[in-house]
Structure 1
Amino acid sequence: MERRMEDGRMDAQETADAIVVRGAGEADRAVLQRLWQLFRHDLAAYQGGFPPGPGGLYGTERLDAAFGNPDRALFLFLSGPSPVGFALVRVLDGGGAEDGSGSGPASGAVLSAFFVVRGLRRGGVGMRAVREVLAAHPGRWEIPFQEANTGAARFWRRVAEGAAPGAWTEEPRGVPVRLGVPPDRWIAFRAGSGGLVGSGIRT
């Protein structure tokens, strides 16, 4: 039975259940670049307040470098026809951690960027999307986040506990390219093809 609000909109659980996560490619570049602007704007508050460039836009070099790169995977999140988020994954093959320290796992994946539009947060959309992303790359994962971003910190620790109950680690790692910025927090765990162990966590 459908659960609808009085104005006909789907409630939070229906919205989360209806989210589609699919691989993204060159045809999605323009959409992802626009979502990237929202993502970077959100992060600016926790990464030293970096302003956009002279043209009023944040750089998309890291995103653009992922297209056609076999060591990167892009995912687009859709609610009906509307794009509502994305994920950028770095696939590790022995080259070390995302932060360039060389201390990362011999193989696995790093969730380099993850974004859900604000209007759909805290309703289960993020958890549904990350479950699909983790399931696409079973194995060891590393995910960085900023402790000052308290909502993200809670979310990622819940993701880790859902994926590997009691068997995940967390450590601080400095950010060499952002002097004066507090170290990022990095969590690590192993996820199976099911992504998360059936959690009722909603975010």
Structure 2
Amino acid sequence: MAGPRTISLDAATSSDAPLLSNLLELYIHDLSDVFPGIELGADGRFGYDKLPLYWSERERRFAFIIRCAGRIAGFVLATRGSPAAEDPDVLDIAEFFVLRRYRRSGVGRRAAVLLWQRLPGKWTVRVSEGNAGALAFWRGAVGELTSGAATETTRPGHPNPWRVFSFESVPELVAI
């Protein structure tokens, strides 16, 4: 089990785009179990068209690399504005990925806490109900952060409904 002090959340720069692009391929491959409509492109890659926006819209999009003991362990893409909220300033976890070897070791939870420390404010976390592992992870992480004070709602989605967690991270709460 990785100790919490060994986890870092490093702001990604445009020079990290190739790394993030490669990690996104692993992430989207994992999601293809949950979203059967995900298909490979003719080049054998899934692709992620929005990645360049993280360098051109830096005031609204935030890219991070998760490291465990200095080694790459995953990534986080967050946005200001969410498809699940009317408030244009609410923060949203667009994509969150932890490599399989680091899952269930505290790395993801610590990375989430580091994210909420770095970007305090109102948040939404959207999870497909078809992604049972992610749903359990986010319910636990958000519940721990907020001591159960988050709002949990369901929104229609395809192929499964979405669970939406809404909460506010404030520096005093994000000490877990």
TM-score for the superposition, normalised by structure 2: 0.90
Conservation of the 8 A alpha-carbon contact between 1:98 and 1:112: no
Residues 31, 195 of structure 1: alpha-carbon distance in 2 compared, 3 angstrom cutoff: farther
Partners of 1:197 and 1:155 in 2: CA distance = 18
Match of 1:75 in 2: 64
User: 2:154, 2:87 → 1: CA distance?
Assistant: 16
2:160 aligned partner: 182
The question of 1:18 aligning with 2:6 is answered yes
In structure 2, which of residues 7, 18, 28 is the aligned counterpart of residue 40 of structure 1?
28
Q: Which residue of structure 2 aligns with residue 3 of structure 1? A: none
Conserved in 1, the CA contact under 8 Å of 2:93 and 2:126? yes
Aligned partners of 1:131 and 1:195 also within 8 Å:
no
Residue 52 of structure 2 corresponds to which residue in structure 1?
64
1:150 counterpart residue number: 132
Task: Summarize the Cα distance change of 1:51–1:32 in structure 2 as closer, same or farther, 3 Å threshold.
Answer: same
**Partner SS state of residue 77, structure 1:** strand
Q: Look at both structures and tell me which one has the larger radius of gyration over its CA atoms.
A: 1
Specify every segment of 5 or more residues in structure 2 that has no aligned partner in the other structure, as ranges: none
In structure 2, the partner of 1:164 is 146
CA 190–109 in structure 1, closer or farther in 2 if over 3 Å, else same: same
Contact 2:39–2:46 at 8 Å: present in 1 too?
A: yes
**1 CA distance for matches of 2:97 and 2:149?**
25
Rounded to whole Å, the distance in 2 between the matches of 1:44 and 1:38 is: 10
Question: Is the Cα contact below 8 Å between 2:127 and 2:164 reproduced in 1?
Answer: yes
**Structure 1 gaps, min length 5:** 1-11, 199-203
Match of 1:191 among 149, 169, 174: 169
Q: Work out the CA distance in 2 between the residues paired with 1:195 and 1:134.
A: 9
Question: What's the % identity of the aligned pairs?
Answer: 27
Distance in 2 of aligned mates of 1:140 and 1:43: 26
Superposition pairs for residues 85-164 of structure 1, below 5 Å? 85-92=74-81, 97-99=82-84, 103-164=85-146
In structure 1, what is the Cα distance between the partners aligned to 2:2 and 2:79? 30
Contact residue 66 and residue 72 of structure 1 kept, 8 A: yes
Q: Deviations over 1:132-152 (max 9, x none)?
A: 011111111001111121111
State TM-score, norm by structure 1. 0.79
Residue identity in the other structure for 2:10: R
Q: 1:6 corresponds to which residue?
A: none
Note closer, same or farther for the CA distance 1:181–1:21 as it changes in structure 2 (3 Å cut): same
Q: CA deviation at 1:46?
A: 0.9
Question: Residues 160 and 104 (structure 1 numbering): CA distance in 2 closer, same or farther, change over 3 Å?
Answer: farther
